[in-house]
Structure 1
C-alpha cells in the first residue's frame, strides 16, 4: 500500500509539472513559456523567387550613443523630435512609415518587417551592406544587419548581401585600409566566414549570391579578380544592369534597378536578359527623392509617380511577362527616395497586397493588420512579461503558418 501511495504521489507530481506548475509554485503568476515551433514556408503559385532590397541604416535618438536621430531620418534639416499634425514626427521623406520612424536594430521592428514580408510571399531579403570597418555609420549598419539575420532564420526567410563598394574609398581615407581592394578583401572575407555558409543564405547555381551596388570604385576586372582571389568559393556575383563589364568574368550576371521610366526595364528584359547567365529583374512602386528638400544634396533629377499603385502594377506585369527566375522589389524602406514597399500612412498595405497577388499566395485572407497589431502590443506592453510571452507565442504561430491562432491570441491581450 505504501509503495502504491508513493507511486500515486509521483504520478500526480508529473501531471502537475507537465501542466506547468509544481508543488512549490501552485497559483504563481509566472508567465507561460511560448511553444517553440519551426517556421513553415508560405504556399504560393508563382515559382519566381521574390526578394526585397532592404536598408538597415535607420537610427533613433533612443538607439544612438549620442542620443541623436540618424541621418536617414534627418538628412541636413529635419528634426524628428518635432511632432506635427496627426502626431507625426518630422522626417526626411515625403512618406511616413505606418509604425513611425524606427531603429533598424530594434527586434520588434525586424519582427514586424519580416512577418509582413513572409505573408506577402517574399522569399528573402537583399541587405544593403556597408562593410566591416568602423567608419561613419558602417558599424551600426553591420550590427543592425546581424540583428536582422538572427531573426530571418526564425521566420523562415533567406538573405543575401548587396555590397556597397563605394565605402572602400572612405575606409582608405580614414586610414583603416591601405587600398580599396584591401578594404574589399577584408569585407568579403568577413562575408565568407560569417554569412555565406548560413543555411538560409541565398545560393544561386550552388554558390552564395552576392550583389554589388555598382561597381562604383572597383571598376576593373583585375580589381575584382584580386578581391575574390582569397575566397574559398567565388560567389554568384551580380552587378547593376549594364555594369558587369567592369567585373569581367568575375560577374555571373546583372540585376535591374529603378530609373526614370519603365522603358529601361523593358530594354533590360528584351535586350540584356537573354545574354546573361543570371538575370534578376526589378519592380518598384515609384520614386520621389527628398534630397533637395532635406538638404541632403542635389535632387536626383527625375521622379516616377506612384499613381495610386499603377506604377507597381506596371512593373510587376513586366516582371511576369519576362518569366523571371529572380525578382528584386525596390525597395522595402528607402524612405529618402520614396521607393517603399513597407506599409506607410499614405499607401497602407497596398503594395504588399499587390506583391501577395503577384506571388500567388494561396491563403488569400489578409493578416497584415494583425501583424501590425502584434507590433503595437510589443511597444504598448513593453514591461509586461506575461503579455510579451503571449506575443512570442503569437509570433511562433505566425511563422509556422497558423495565423488564425496568432490572431486569436493577440485579440485576448488587453
Structure 2
C-alpha cells in the first residue's frame, strides 16, 4: 500500500506517462523477421528494470550500414548526423553508456566506413558516453588485396590509433584503448607483433568464450543471438576462469536472418521478450561491461532500436466512477507496471494510479474517459488499452 501511495503522488505531478523519443524511422513499419514497428518505448532505464549496477557499463553494438543499396531500406541513413544524435540520445536516456561499431578498413569508402566517424564525433559531444571499434573480419577478406594479414592489421590499427583511439570518448581501461575483434580466429596473425607495433598499448578483446585463450587476448565478448542458451552458459563459465581479463556480456532479444542477403535461415524465437529476459537473468553481477546485441541490425532481426514486443494486450471491463478492472494477454513478465489514466476529453490524459504487474483492478474515483497503459520494462514497448467512457453511477 505504501508503494502505491508514494508512486501515486509522483505520477499525479505530471500528465500522462512520459514518452521516450525513439530513434527508428517513422516510415519503418516493422519486418516479418521480428523487428517491431516503432512505437512508444518504455522510458525506464536498464538499471531500473534489471538491476544492472553502476560498475557495469552497458554498450550498444551498432552495424551502421543502412542507407546503402547493399542493405535493406529501413527509412534512414546510418551516417546522417541527425540520425546519430537521435540514436545516441535515446541510448543514453535508457542508461546505455557507449557503443561499439563495426569497422572494416580505413579504405572503406562505403556508408559503413563513414558512419563510425560520425558516431565518434557525436560521442565526443556527450558526457560519459564511450565509443569503441568492433573490427570485422571483412578487413582481411575484402581489403587485404593479397597482403599478409599481420601487416594489414598493423597498418589499419595504426591509422585507427590516429583517428579513433586518441579521442577522449574512446573506450579505455586503465588508460588503454579497448578494441573488439569479430571473426579473426582463423587468420594466421602474429598478435604479439601486432600489439608491439600499435601506439597506445591497446587491449584486444575477441569473440566467444574461446576468445579468452587466443594469443594476445586481453579478454572476450559474447555474441550469442544466433545460438541456443548454452552459448551464454559456456561464456559466463569462461568468464569465471578469467577474472583478471576484460569480459563483455550479451543481452539480446532473438535472431532471424531471413531478411538478410547472406541468410542461412537461422531463427531464435523472441518468445514475446522472454528470450531477452533470459539473457538478463543469466548476466553475472560482476561484469565490467555488457553489450546489447544489437542496436540496429535489422536484417538479422536483432535490432533493439524499435523496442521489444512483449505481445501484451490490455482489455478493459466496463469502467464506473468507482474504478475499473482489466484483463491481460501476452508476456506479463516484461511489464514493469500499469498506469490508470483519465481524460475529460479523450485526448489529454493524466495518470491517477500506478499498480504492480498482475494487479488488474483499480478502486478509486474515475470520470470522463479511462485507459490503462502496460508500461514495459526497459527496451520493451508500452501497450495501451482502448479508451473507455466511465459509466456514471445509477
TM-score, scaled to structure 1? 0.58
How many pairs align?
264
Shift of 1:264: 1.4
Q: Deviations over 1:2-50 (max 9, x none)?
A: xxxxxxxxxxxxxxxxxxxxxxxxxxxxxxxxxxxxxxxx997721110
Q: Deviations over 1:324-380 (max 9, x none)?
A: 1110110001111111110159679xxxxx99x8xxxxxxxxxxxxxxxxxxxxxxx
Greater helix content: 1
Segments of 5+ residues of structure 1 without an aligned counterpart are 1-41, 60-68, 74-90, 92-99, 349-353, 358-414
Runs (4+) of structure 1 exceeding 4 A deviation are 42-45, 344-348
2:70 corresponding residue in structure 1 = 71
Q: Deviations over 1:174-198 (max 9, x none)?
A: x6xx322222112101111121121
Distance 2:299 2:272 in 1: 19
1:58 corresponding residue in structure 2 = 66
Distance 1:71 1:210 in 2: 26
1:211 aligns with 2:180: yes
1:254 aligns with 2:215: no
1:342 aligns with 2:342: no
Distance 2:62 2:230 in 1: 24
**CA distance 1:322–1:245, shift in 2 (3 Å):** closer
Higher RCO by CA contacts (8 Å cutoff, separation 6 or greater): 1
**CA distance 1:189–1:282, shift in 2 (3 Å):** same
Superposed CA RMSD in Å reads: 2.9
Shift of 1:107: 1.5
Distance 2:210 2:233 in 1: 17
**CA distance 1:345–1:120, shift in 2 (3 Å):** closer
1:297 corresponding residue in structure 2 = 262
Greater strand content: 2
Q: Is the 8 A contact 2:84 2:119 kept in 1?
A: yes
Shift of 1:217: 5.0
Distance 2:92 2:287 in 1: 20
1:217-256 equivalences in 2 (<5 Å): 217-220=186-189, 223-244=190-211, 247-248=214-215, 250-256=216-222
Distance 2:241 2:69 in 1: 42
Q: Is the 8 A contact 1:165 1:184 kept in 2?
A: no
1:228 match: secondary structure? helix
**CA distance 1:309–1:110, shift in 2 (3 Å):** same
1:393 corresponding residue in structure 2 = none
Distance 1:161 1:272 in 2: 22
Q: Is the 8 A contact 2:58 2:98 kept in 1?
A: yes
1:296-375 equivalences in 2 (<5 Å): 296-299=261-264, 301-319=265-283, 321-343=284-306
Shift of 1:272: 4.0
Moved more, 265-274 or 201-210: 265-274
Segments of 5+ residues of structure 2 without an aligned counterpart are 1-45, 312-332, 337-394
2:197 match: secondary structure? coil
TM-score, scaled to structure 2? 0.61
